[in-house]
A and B are shown apart, each in its own frame.
Chain A
Amino acid sequence: MTKRVGMEVSVAIAEAVKLADADVVAVYPITPQTHIVEHLAELVVSGELDAEYITVESEHSAMSACLGSAAAGARTYTATASQGLELMQETLYVASGMRLPIVMTVANRAVSAPLSIWGDHSDVMTVRDTGWIQIFNENGQEVVDNTICAFRIAENRNVLLPVMVHMDGFHLSHVIEPILLSDEEQVRAFLPVNNYPLPLHPSKPVAMGDFAPPFIYTEAKWAHEQALRNSKKVILEVWDAFAKEFGRQYKPVETYCAEGAKTLLFTMGSFSETAMTSIDKMRADGLDIGLVKLRLWRPFPFEELRDVVKGVDTLIVLDRALSTGGPGGPVCSEIRSAFYNLNPRPQIVSFVGGLGGRDITIEGFESIVRSGMEIAKSGSDKEFQIFGVRE
């Protein structure tokens, strides 16, 4: 029976991992960590989840333990945030390069210094090119649903790639929300048994993560690139199957009041919720504005995004990370690049805001939109605008 519960989102994610029947959870249990792993520890101790729970001495070791576990064919889960994700960095490339289906929740948070424990997308942007599938979420329900979908995507024979499920630190990870927790039998039926094709086993030894001299490294990288690009097909299939089974549909690019709008605001993550309320207010005031929300960060949904901006004059992109000394918003620079060859192409205005846990209010989004429209009209000599900074 599906239950509707009021639950901290991190705790609900742990419940989703239990529903997915993970075999191995390898985590660094100390800060920067979320309640996900605390609750998973409780579930394992109480016997509700039959899994190996490995506590390790760092996030680098957490991901390393996950590599071994996934290579042996176990359904493998971990979670981290901010500095922890940074410390994992080199092993993230190993997980994807070795094509190991690991699922990881990342509570997106700022990176020190100065020390900040609050949310933004700085940590995510440093792992952009690690070759993982990366999914963004707006609210607790979406994180729970996509945690379940992530296992089915990652372990699919035609994918075999690790998946990061992103949620905004604190704005999602530490809030209590109403969550629909699905029936265990229904989730287990939705998730086939993990059947990794060439697992480590004494009866059939294989070597993983081996040496690739220059004559083969390019081919190996291209195979990874193809796998990540082609994973989109399976991601869409899994989201459709999820919608059929559980009634909630996810798409790589989602929109709100975007039909026919000449100006679109672009957001990622939990800020999309406030942005929607702001859009309602602006439309009531007669502004021709809609919202586009990116769910699938990798593989990047070029076609879907290009479809959404057909007929759009202005696209105002909000980034919650700063590419210091560079083009400003890392997401916006990808959008600019993706649309460069479009003819006609919308004016693109880049904003950076919501850094290190700073909220953007309904009025804040309105101010971003109004000044974005102004800049689109009159032009600006700046690569990007920073929102809300005190001069």
Chain B
Amino acid sequence: MPKPDNELTWKDLEIGCIVTNPGSAAVYRTGDWRSQRPEYDFSRCIKCGVCQMNCPEDSVKKNELGYYEADLYHCKGCGICSRECPVWVISMKEES
């Protein structure tokens, strides 16, 4: 069982902090940086995917019904999807 990241000592690090399992940033929870979260009114959604194309973090995915939805583990709440949606499906709500 590898140590949790916040228990690693300096001796555990690879030379120059090289990461030998690329893509591991996917496990990094950027969602907790969020101050606003996207909320959806799918009744208006035309499934155009503009929100997905504009997401700078690639955190918008298609759900099982074919609607586009942010993955809140990674979504930083920037609101670009809400701004770009042509049919005003997405509204940004304050995180409590």
Contact = CB atoms under 8 A, between A and B. Distances in A.
Interface of A: 97-100, 160, 197-198, 205-212, 215-216, 219-220, 222-223, 226
Nearest to A215: B6
Contacts of A211: 25, 28
Nearest to A99: B16
Contacts of B17: 97-98, 209-210, 212, 216, 220, 223
Nearest to A217: B17
Contacts of B11: 223
**Which of B5, B14, B25 neighbours the largest number of chain A CB atoms within 10 Å of its CB?**
B14
Contacts of B24: 207
Contacts of A206: 18-20, 22
Given A215-B5, A216-B5, 13 more contacts: A97-B17, A98-B18, A99-B15, A206-B18, A206-B19, A206-B20, A207-B24, A208-B16, A209-B17, A210-B17, A210-B19, A216-B8, A220-B17
A206 B12 CA distance: 17
A197 B15 contact: yes
Counting from the closest, the 3 A-B pairs by CB-CB distance are A99-B16, A207-B19, A219-B10
A219 B20 contact: no
Contacts of B63: none
Given A205-B22, A207-B22, A219 B16 contact: no
Q: Chain A contact residues: over half helix, strand or loop, or mixed?
A: loop
A98 B6 CA distance: 21
Interface of B: 5-6, 8-20, 22, 24-25, 28
Nearest to B14: A198
**Which of B11, B16, B19 neighbours the largest number of chain A CB atoms within 10 Å of its CB?**
B16
Contacts of B28: 211
A210 B17 CA distance: 7
Contact of B16 (A100, A216, A222): A100
B22 to A, nearest CB: 5
Contact of A219 (B13, B18, B22): B13
B19 A219 contact: no
A215 B10 CA distance: 11
A98 B16 CA distance: 4
Contact of A208 (B8, B10, B18): B18
A212 B19 CA distance: 11
Given A206-B20, A211-B25, A220 B10 contact: yes
Nearest to A225: B10
A207 B18 contact: yes
A97 B6 CA distance: 20
A223 B19 contact: no
Nearest to B24: A207
Contacts of A160: 15-16
Contact of B8 (A100, A197, A219): A219
A285 B5 CA distance: 66
Contacts of A98: 16-18
Nearest to A197: B15
30 contacts: A97-B16, A97-B17, A98-B16, A98-B18, A99-B16, A160-B15, A160-B16, A197-B15, A198-B20, A205-B22, A206-B18, A206-B22, A207-B22, A207-B24, A208-B16, A209-B17, A210-B17, A210-B19, A211-B25, A211-B28, A216-B6, A216-B13, A216-B17, A219-B8, A220-B10, A220-B17, A223-B11, A223-B13, A223-B17, A226-B10
